[in-house]
Amino acid sequence: MKAAALALFFLLATGCAKKEPIVEHAMHGEVTQLDAEHNVATIKHDDIKDFMKAMTMEYGVREKADFEKLKVGGKIDATVFVQGDDYWVGRVKPAQ
């Protein structure tokens, strides 16, 4: 009985833990590589205000529709979503 109560407490405690808020940052960059198996895009981007300097790095892309908009060599405007230590790219559109 104690084990069941302890397990229930653990489930409730972890399920009720507050997640960090999602912070959004505008990004402009060029897609340099795509990994369709893992939905990861390597993007050479300009400075991302209040987040990071210009660099080339990998970003997960959670939405299939966003990943399908990416082409190697394509310039994009997108949003970088940051939640704690997790980050990903979304709201992808061709750069103007």
User: How does pLDDT run across 9-57, given as a tens digit for each residue?
Assistant: 555 555 555 689 999 999 999 999 999 999 999 999 999 999 999 999 9
CATH number of the domain that residue 37 is part of: 2.40.50.320
Asked whether residue 72 is domain-assigned, the answer is yes
Q: How many folded domains does the chain comprise?
A: 1
Which amino acid would we find at residue 63?
Answer: E
**pTM attached to this predicted model:** 0.80
Asked whether residue 31 is domain-assigned, the answer is yes
The Cα–Cα gap between 62 and 82 comes to 13
Q: What are the pLDDT digits (tens) for 60-96?
A: 999 999 999 999 999 999 999 999 999 999 999 999 8
Domain that holds residue 30: 21-94
Asked whether residue 3 is domain-assigned, the answer is no
The Cα–Cα gap between 56 and 39 comes to 17
Return phi, psi of residue 13, to 5°. -65, -45
Q: What is the DSSP string of 50-66?
A: TTB-SEEEEEEE--HHH
